[in-house]
Amino acid sequence: MTVIGVLALQGDVREHTDALAACGVTTVPVRRERELRSVDGLVIPGGESTTMSRLLDVFELYKPLRAALADGLPAYGSCAGMILLASTILDTRDDARHLDALDVTVRRNAFGRQVESFEADLDFAGITDRPDADPLRAVFIRAPWVESAGPDTTILATVPGGPAAGRIVAVRQNDVLATSFHPEVTGDLRVHQYFVDMVKEGTAS
C-alpha cells in the first residue's frame, strides 16, 4: 500500500488530499515527525511560503523534513511548495527557510499579485507528450517561476506565450517534482498521477 502525506500546516491541503485519493493512494496529513516517518512520499501544497517555513519550525519539522528529502523521500511541491523545495529563493524574507531539495533558483511572486493570476495551456514532458494527450490547463495564483536550474534538474514545462513566455514552471530532479501552478484546483489528475507513479517506482526499486 502506497501512503502519500500532505504537509498540513497551511495552504491547499484538502484539495491535494482529494486529488491523491482519486489517484487511488492512501493519504495522511503530516504535521509531526512521526507522521513524516510513515509516508512513502510527501506533497507540499500551495499557500504562503514564508508562513509555511515558520510553521515548519513551530512544529519541529524543518530538520526532519530536510533530512528525509536528503535521504531520498519523494516530494512534490506546488506553488509555495516549489519555493520551499528550492535551493535559492529570490524576493523573499531574510529569515525564510528552504529545504534545498531542488537545485533551482526560484523567484517568489514572479508573475505578480493576486489580481494578475492567470491560466494557460501547457505542454508537460511525460504527460502531454503521450499519444492523444490534451494540453495541461495550469492555474497560476501569485505564482513563482524558476529563474535558473542546475544541470541535474529536468525542465518539464514552460510558459508558452505572453510576457512570461519561456519561463520555467515545472521541474524534476530525481524524485522531487515541483510546479509553479496549482493542479489541485482544476480537476485534472495527471500531475498528481505523475507523482504517484514516481513514488510507486521508488518503493518498488
Active site members:
79, 182, 184
Rounded Cα–Cα distance for residues 83 and 179 (Å): 9
Rounded Cα–Cα distance for residues 88 and 6 (Å): 23
Tell the burial category of 109 from Cβ atoms under 10 Å away from its Cβ (0-12, 13-18, 19+): middle
DSSP β-ladder status, 86-90 and 102-107: parallel
Rounded Cα–Cα distance for residues 140 and 33 (Å): 31
Q: Are 156 and 137 in contact (CB under 8 A)?
A: no
DSSP β-ladder status, 41-44 and 3-7: parallel
Q: Are 24 and 60 in contact (CB under 8 A)?
A: no
Helix-, strand-, coil-residue percentages of the chain, each rounded to 5:
30, 30, 40
Q: Are 201 and 183 in contact (CB under 8 A)?
A: no
